[in-house]
Amino acid sequence: MIAMRRYLALGAALGFCAASAFGAGSVVPTVPSTGAVLDGPDLDEIVRIVKQQTILSGVTAAQMREASVHGIVKLLDETLRQPPYALAVRPAARSPFEEPEERPINAFYTPRDYRLWRQEMQGKFGGIGARIGVRLQRAEWATSAGAVTSETSTIEVLGPIPGGAAEKAGLKKGDLILAIDGKSVAGATLAEIVEQLRGDEGTTVGLKVLRQPNPPYEVRITRTQVRLAPVEFEKLAGGVGCLRITTLNPETRPALERALTAAREAGAGGLVLDLRGCPGGVLDVAVEAASAFLPKGSPVVTLGKAGKADETLATAAAQLYDGPLVALVGPHTASGAEIVAAALQVHGRALVAGEPTFGKHTAETVFELHGGYAAKLSTAFFRRPGTKPGEGPGFPVQPDVPLASSRHREPDEPSTDAQLAAAAALVQWRGGKQQGQK
């Protein structure tokens, strides 16, 4: 009966194909690949059917297994976004371009994807030195049969990295890349485009670029080593400094130390810690980043794993800065960056300003698989330090001082950052308040 139930389920799922190939209502019984009792379909069984009895035998077993793992990880990610796992409700985006990039939390990496991911985490690679993204464009027409919608994607330059090859070649924010080395980018995934643009230092790549309303032009760029600065320092007006953290990778803590040294040398009397563009990164690095502003031994985050006791991670490195501090956050502040902001808020170390953060509260582990593949899977929940199970994770981080978004402006309007200016004013106020308390 067990084998029959499996066979009937398979017949129902493939009923259209069976009827088309062998006549209406006809079915072909199969023999299970193993004698074991399975809960669900037999992957080896469907692979064998495709290879031996369909016109799609050109699809390899490796491709089918890869697709099945993609499906498993997609199921995990979709489940994670539903109750009881999805504890936080994210605010609706005000425009299609304000929602944080919807990368899956649980993900399956092909060897190519995993290689690119590791390069991102290392923060250095050969490339043209530009941030790119895929922008979807939708068009709708009315026909006699109803509305018809088409969707196309374009590769857009989000901005050249200062001093990089793309900037020297004249690429600008908003440029569209139409072709790479003579091959159209239409239909290509972002990972495929990134892989084509990256390469060994000293090699060249040809781009066909559209800068509207001008006609397309071609440019050849020599790749250089791209180093993604995880921390940037900027001197603001009024003796305030800004530390902008863009990612949490192994280079973040050393870069943070250098940025703090630059802030001292510049005479900054207080700091804005800008986390608005930080999507997170390595959990241990988040703890290290928080330790730069907290006394040694301060709890930073509590991890909860199924069937295991809670684990609280605390700062172990020496505190590097104890002056006036404002953490600036927004909807693109996610994961490890939220942990940093929450820890500073819990301990009263910084005033948190800006907009509510992304609202992630799970930690992931990357598992390296056979054949160069990898899977990033959720292995723990995280909560604010001091909270107990059932109280809620405390994410998204709600700012102490809400600041309206400064991203809304007309194309010809100067690129001012009202949120950053307001945060700098809060630093000055906080510094004066601390002086008055001494």
* Residues 160 and 181 grouped into a single domain: yes
Domain-terminating residue out of 181, 208, 227: 227
* Residues 175 and 242 grouped into a single domain: no
* Residues 277 and 423 grouped into a single domain: yes
Q: Give which of 136, 134, 176 is closest to 152, Cα–Cα.
A: 136
Q: Are strands 351-354 and 401-402 parallel, antiparallel or unpaired?
A: parallel
- Alpha-carbon span 280 to 265, nearest angstrom: 28
Residue 223, burial from CB neighbour count under 10 angstroms (0-12, 13-18, 19+): buried
- Alpha-carbon span 375 to 113, nearest angstrom: 11
Provide the residue range defining the domain that includes 175.
124-227
Domain-terminating residue out of 180, 201, 227: 227
pLDDT band at 407 (very low <50, low <70, confident <90, very high): low
* Residues 158 and 297 grouped into a single domain: no
Q: Is 103 a member of any domain?
A: no
pLDDT band at 97 (very low <50, low <70, confident <90, very high): very low
pLDDT of residue 329: 96
Can you tell me the mean pLDDT for 49-70?
A: 90
* Residues 188 and 308 grouped into a single domain: no
* Residues 170 and 183 grouped into a single domain: yes
CB atoms within 10 A of CB 199: 15
* Residues 326 and 399 grouped into a single domain: yes
Better pLDDT: 8 or 430: 430
Tell whether the model's pLDDT for residue 342 goes beyond 90: yes
Q: Is 80 a member of any domain?
A: no
* Residues 39 and 134 grouped into a single domain: no
Q: Is 271 a member of any domain?
A: yes
* Residues 196 and 252 grouped into a single domain: no
What integer best gives the mean pLDDT of the chain? 81
* Residues 240 and 329 grouped into a single domain: yes
Q: Is 93 a member of any domain?
A: no
pLDDT of residue 406: 59
Q: Which of 37-41, 122-126, 135-139, 347-351 has the lowest mean pLDDT?
A: 135-139
| Interval 136-158: pLDDT, tens | 665 566 666 566 555 566 788 98
Domain count, the chain: 3
* Residues 260 and 342 grouped into a single domain: yes
* Residues 349 and 292 grouped into a single domain: yes
pLDDT band at 320 (very low <50, low <70, confident <90, very high): very high
| Interval 207-233: pLDDT, tens | 999 998 999 999 999 999 988 889 999
pLDDT band at 192 (very low <50, low <70, confident <90, very high): confident
pLDDT band at 323 (very low <50, low <70, confident <90, very high): very high
Tell whether the model's pLDDT for residue 121 goes beyond 50: yes
